């Protein structure tokens, strides 16, 4: 912690010195900066996409905005099926005969999660399978897709049941302050999930193996050492079985933190481009984004739980009898809780997107400094535009983007290039 404050202080000092030094930019740099126009270079990169490519990625990404709305409305509909058709009461009657404490709740939760998955399946299969194929963004056969779905469903049933069981246990023990304890339970599981994901969860969907020895790996590890990252290995995974999307990630924390890149990146990108991506991922590590993300998520979850609790109480006080829900401790209220969480999460999407996008922008800047490959970064941004609209409006980006837009990323890379022309290769 001390080290971070120390680093922060040094950075502030350097920034202050730098702002004073801005008055006298060396002549040589001024000349080259003038010769290299940032906006022209940005447009040149954006124009490497054909109008047809842009139209396709715009349609795909903009369709996603509507899908977020439809998914929320669909989730409300599913909640309505549980609460208004007597389905929820039926499940409650079915499990109420079990006399062992806690078990009725577990049975209700398990049946609810399973049925909810079945009800949501039509939208799920359209969004995740047919639509991805419609835009030629998936390499998966239907059986392979279904297999991943079943693994996901299994994880959801195990961890979802466990989390909800604990939340209802907290409700029974803590009464009115349940929402604070509920948020705490979900945060603890989020941290646990982040910790075990790289080692136990991600390998359920993809094969992970160490990146082959060679020049590229040496260069990546050298970059890692130059940034004080104690990485001894870099991992690659076979994302090509799902799609052609290039991506990498830094996942886990504490002893399970690892940097992984996918095989599409290896196949489709030059070493310079791969280094640009790895620089970005290292930025996440160096700037402790996993910990900061967990902290931000914790604050967000407490607010979310508090709001959901208020609205739940308001609805129950008016419609509790009609919905057959006695109070917050009634397991039959679970479908209503899920609807409220879904709606609240939808409303807060611009906020959560901005939380993530801010970190991604920081990682972009770190990556440019670490890899020193602005054109490599710009080319990767073009590849990412296959599934992310490249040039959105100002508010469109704030509301819908969990990463900076391609235009902003390229512009940032070109600005970096303009200001470092003399030390670029």
Shortest Cβ distance from residue 35 to Zn ion (Å)? Answer: 32
Shortest Cβ distance from residue 409 to Zn ion (Å)? Answer: 11
Shortest Cβ distance from residue 195 to Zn ion (Å)? Answer: 19
The structure tokens listed for 381 are 């941004």
Shortest Cβ distance from residue 297 to Zn ion (Å)? Answer: 16
Residue 276 in contact with Zn ion, rule: CB under 5 A: no
Determine which helix (DSSP H) or strand (DSSP E) holds 218, and give its type and residue range.
helix 215-226
- How far apart CA 424 and CA 36 sit, in angstroms, is 13
Determine which helix (DSSP H) or strand (DSSP E) holds 248, and give its type and residue range.
strand 248-251
Q: Which is nearer to Zn ion, 402 or 419 (CB)?
A: 402
Whether the Cβ atoms of residue 149 and residue 140 lie closer than 8 Å to each other: no
- How far apart CA 413 and CA 411 sit, in angstroms, is 5
Site for Zn ion in 201-240 (CB under 5 A): none
Q: Of 70, 103, 206, whose CA–CA distance to 147 is shortest?
A: 206
Cα Rg for the chain, rounded, in angstroms?
25
Q: Which is nearer to Zn ion, 276 or 323 (CB)?
A: 276
Interacting span for Zn ion (CB under 5 A) from 252-260, 320-328, 338-346, 357-365: 357-365
Interacting span for Zn ion (CB under 5 A) from 38-46, 77-85, 168-176, 360-368: 360-368
Site for Zn ion in 104-133 (CB under 5 A): none
Between the alpha carbon of residue 363 and those of residues 149, 232, 259, 411, the distances in Å are: 31, 21, 14, 15
Q: Which is nearer to Zn ion, 265 or 336 (CB)?
A: 265
Number of residues that bind Zn ion (CB under 5 A): 2
Q: Which is nearer to Zn ion, 68 or 247 (CB)?
A: 247
Shortest Cβ distance from residue 248 to Zn ion (Å)? Answer: 8
Between the alpha carbon of residue 237 and those of residues 151, 202, 249, 261, the distances in Å are: 18, 10, 11, 7
Whether the Cβ atoms of residue 245 and residue 237 lie closer than 8 Å to each other: no
Shortest Cβ distance from residue 250 to Zn ion (Å)? Answer: 8
- How far apart CA 171 and CA 169 sit, in angstroms, is 5
Shortest Cβ distance from residue 265 to Zn ion (Å)? Answer: 13
Q: Which is nearer to Zn ion, 115 or 294 (CB)?
A: 294
- How far apart CA 327 and CA 330 sit, in angstroms, is 5
> Which residues, including other chains, have CB under 8 Å from residue 282's CB and lie 6 or more apart?
223, 224, 227, 229, 250, 259, 366, 367, 370
Residue 265 in contact with Zn ion, rule: CB under 5 A: no
Residue 363 in contact with Zn ion, rule: CB under 5 A: yes
Interacting span for Zn ion (CB under 5 A) from 201-209, 226-234, 236-244, 352-360: 352-360
Shortest Cβ distance from residue 352 to Zn ion (Å)? Answer: 15
Dihedral angle sign, alpha carbons of residues 176, 177, 180, 186: negative
Residue 248 in contact with Zn ion, rule: CB under 5 A: no
Interacting span for Zn ion (CB under 5 A) from 46-54, 156-164, 356-364, 410-418: 356-364
The structure tokens listed for 190 are 């989020």
Q: Which is nearer to Zn ion, 61 or 285 (CB)?
A: 285
- How far apart CA 155 and CA 161 sit, in angstroms, is 10
Shortest Cβ distance from residue 281 to Zn ion (Å)? Answer: 7
Q: Which is nearer to Zn ion, 276 or 338 (CB)?
A: 276
Residue 418 in contact with Zn ion, rule: CB under 5 A: no
Q: Which is nearer to Zn ion, 170 or 277 (CB)?
A: 277
Instruction: Give me the residues that bind Zn ion (CB under 5 A), please.
Output: 360, 363
């Amino acid at each position: 912690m001390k080290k971070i404050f120390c680093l922060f202080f040094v950075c502030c000092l350097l920034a202050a010195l730098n702002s004073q030094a801005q008055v006298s930019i060396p002549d040589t740099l001024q000349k080259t900066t003038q010769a290299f126009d940032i906006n022209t270079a940005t447009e040149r990169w954006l124009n490497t996409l054909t109008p047809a490519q842009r139209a396709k990625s715009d349609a795909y990404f903009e369709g996603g905005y509507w899908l977020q709305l439809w998914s929320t409305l669909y989730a409300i509909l599913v909640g309505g099926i549980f609460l208004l058709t007597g389905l929820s009461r039926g499940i409650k009657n079915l499990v109420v005969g079990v006399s062992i404490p806690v078990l009725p709740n577990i049975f209700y939760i398990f049946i609810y999660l399973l049925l909810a998955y079945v009800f949501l399946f039509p939208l799920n299969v359209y969004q995740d399978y047919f639509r991805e194929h419609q835009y030629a963004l998936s390499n998966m056969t239907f059986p392979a897709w279904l297999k991943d779905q079943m693994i996901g469903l299994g994880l959801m049933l195990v961890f979802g049941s466990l989390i909800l069981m604990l939340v209802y246990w907290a409700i029974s023990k803590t009464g009115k302050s349940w929402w604070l304890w509920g948020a705490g339970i979900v945060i603890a599981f989020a941290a646990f999930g982040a910790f075990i994901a790289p080692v136990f969860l991600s390998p359920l969907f993809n094969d992970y193996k160490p990146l082959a020895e060679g020049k590229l790996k040496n260069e990546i590890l050298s970059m890692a050492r130059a940034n004080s990252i104690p990485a001894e290995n870099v991992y690659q995974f076979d994302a090509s079985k799902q799609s052609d999307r290039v991506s990498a990630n830094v996942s886990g924390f504490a002893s399970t933190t690892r940097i992984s890149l996918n095989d599409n990146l290896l196949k489709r990108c030059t070493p310079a481009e791969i280094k640009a991506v790895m620089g970005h991922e290292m930025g996440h590590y160096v700037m402790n984004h996993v910990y900061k993300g967990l902290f931000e998520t914790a604050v967000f979850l407490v607010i979310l739980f508090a709001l959901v609790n208020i609205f739940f109480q308001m609805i129950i006080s008016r419609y509790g009898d009609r919905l057959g829900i006695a109070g917050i401790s009634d397991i039959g209220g679970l479908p209503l809780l899920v609807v409220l969480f879904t709606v609240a999460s939808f409303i807060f999407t611009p906020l959560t997107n901005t939380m993530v996008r801010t970190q991604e922008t920081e990682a972009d800047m770190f990556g440019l400094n670490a890899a020193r490959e602005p054109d490599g970064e710009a080319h990767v941004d073009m590849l990412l535009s296959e599934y992310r609209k490249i040039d959105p409006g100002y508010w469109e980006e704030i509301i819908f983007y969990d990463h900076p837009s391609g235009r902003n990323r390229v512009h940032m890379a070109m600005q970096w290039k303009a200001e470092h022309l003399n030390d670029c290769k």
